[in-house]
Structure 1
Amino acid sequence: MKKYLITSPELYTDTPSIFRKILHKQFGIHRPEYALYRDKSNPNYEGQASHFVEVCKQSENIKSFIHQKVDLAKELNATGVHLTSLQFGEIIRAKAQGLEVIISTHTYAEVLQAQKLGADAVTYSPVFTSPNKGKPKGLEDLKELITKCNIKVFALGGIIKQEQLRLFKDIEIYGFASIRYFVDK
């Protein structure tokens, strides 16, 4: 099962040197295959995104994704872009620029639309209870979704413990994405 680390400003800070140090540490501990720079409030988003992509390139086999910003992802030579569920119209443009595309989804219809438009993968959420994310989908819903699509699916939402990952053993998901799972406690 692939691991997709998502940053968060309150856990990863916006000070470049500390951010880089935390990223290196977490990448070394958790060895994710995918990582997303996500910070909706950083006024120096572009600069911090540059540090993020550089750290991903220094780490072994980590694909770097930039949140929402197709042109910035291309400019920084990131692996790809992670689009929000309001950005389906950007999938084709991002693919035309040679970027891998992951898009956030919350319904079967959105997953199938992402697949039709050529996205490489989706996050499907929330699977478990997650702060301010609404009612969780649950494992049966996720299992049903997998039978209806042919796109890589990352389970997202409320995944914070190893025990939760064991619950996916009978579900053929591509991987899981999380913020809190990838932070030392």
Structure 2
Amino acid sequence: MHKYLITSREFYTDTPAIFRNILHEQFKEHLPTYALYRDKSNPNYDKQASHFIEVCSQFENIKSFIHQNVELAKELNATGVHLTSSQFDKIKYAKELGLEVIISTHTHAEVFKAKQLGADAVTYSPIFTSPNKGKPKGVEDLKKLVNECDINIFALGGIVEQKQIEKIKNTKVYGFASIRYFY
């Protein structure tokens, strides 16, 4: 099962040297196959994103993604862009630029729409209880979705311990994404 590490200013800070060091250590410890630079409040987002890409490039098996910003992802030579659930209209553009696309989804209909529009993968959330993310979908709903739709799905939301990963393994989901699990 693929691991998708998502950064958060809360855990990784916005001080470049500290950020790079923490990120490098988390990559070494957890060996994710996907990583996302996500920080909704950093005034130096572009600069910190370049540090993120630099650290990712030190690990040959990590695909690097930039949150929301298609142009920045292309400029920094990221593997791809992770779009929000309000950015379905950007999928085609990102694909035309040669980027892989992951998009956030919260309903089965959004997952099918992402597949139809050419996204490479989705995050589907929240699976478990997660702060400020609404009612959890649960493992059975995830399992049903995985069986209905042929797109790579990352389970997201409330995955903080190995016991949650064990619960979703049987769904045959492509992978899981998390912030808190990786810190």
The structural deviation recorded for 1:60 is 2.8
C-alpha distance after superposition, 1:124-182 (max 9, x if no partner):
00000000000000001001111110000000000000111111232110000000000
Question: Which whole-Å CA distance do the structure 2 matches of 1:168 and 1:123 have between them?
Answer: 14
Residue of structure 2 in register with 1:73 after alignment:
73
SS of residue matched to 1:163: helix
Q: Taking structure 1 as the reference length, what is the TM-score of the superposition?
A: 0.98
- Given the alignment of the two structures, is residue 92 of structure 1 paired with residue 84 of structure 2, yes or no? no
Q: What's the RMSD between the two structures over aligned residues?
A: 0.5
Question: Which whole-Å CA distance do the structure 2 matches of 1:109 and 1:78 have between them?
Answer: 28
Residue of structure 1 in register with 2:104 after alignment:
104
C-alpha distance after superposition, 1:108-136 (max 9, x if no partner):
00000000000000000000000000000
Report the AA paired with residue 8 of structure 2. Answer: S
Question: Which whole-Å CA distance do the structure 2 matches of 1:8 and 1:121 have between them?
Answer: 21
Unaligned ranges ≥5, structure 2: none
Question: Which whole-Å CA distance do the structure 1 matches of 2:166 and 2:133 have between them?
Answer: 22
Question: Which whole-Å CA distance do the structure 2 matches of 1:88 and 1:49 have between them?
Answer: 22
Question: Which whole-Å CA distance do the structure 2 matches of 1:107 and 1:167 have between them?
Answer: 20
Question: Which whole-Å CA distance do the structure 1 matches of 2:13 and 2:35 have between them?
Answer: 16
SS of residue matched to 2:64: strand
Residue of structure 1 in register with 2:56 after alignment:
56
Question: Which whole-Å CA distance do the structure 1 matches of 2:35 and 2:119 have between them?
Answer: 17
Residue of structure 2 in register with 1:6 after alignment:
6
Residue of structure 1 in register with 2:114 after alignment:
114
Report the AA paired with residue 133 of structure 1. Answer: K
Report the AA paired with residue 161 of structure 1. Answer: E
Residue of structure 2 in register with 1:159 after alignment:
159
SS of residue matched to 2:177: strand
Q: How is 1:119-134 mapped onto 2 (pairs within 5 angstroms)?
A: 119-134=119-134
The structural deviation recorded for 1:7 is 0.2
SS of residue matched to 2:10: helix
SS of residue matched to 1:167: helix
Question: Which whole-Å CA distance do the structure 1 matches of 2:28 and 2:111 have between them?
Answer: 32
The structural deviation recorded for 1:61 is 0.8
Residue of structure 2 in register with 1:25 after alignment:
25
C-alpha distance after superposition, 1:11-32 (max 9, x if no partner):
0000000000000000000000
The structure 1 segments of at least 4 consecutive aligned residues displaced by more than 2 Å after TM superposition are none
The structural deviation recorded for 1:59 is 1.5
C-alpha distance after superposition, 1:66-121 (max 9, x if no partner):
00000000000000000000000000000000000000000000000000000000
Question: Which whole-Å CA distance do the structure 2 matches of 1:77 and 1:173 have between them?
Answer: 28
SS of residue matched to 1:150: coil
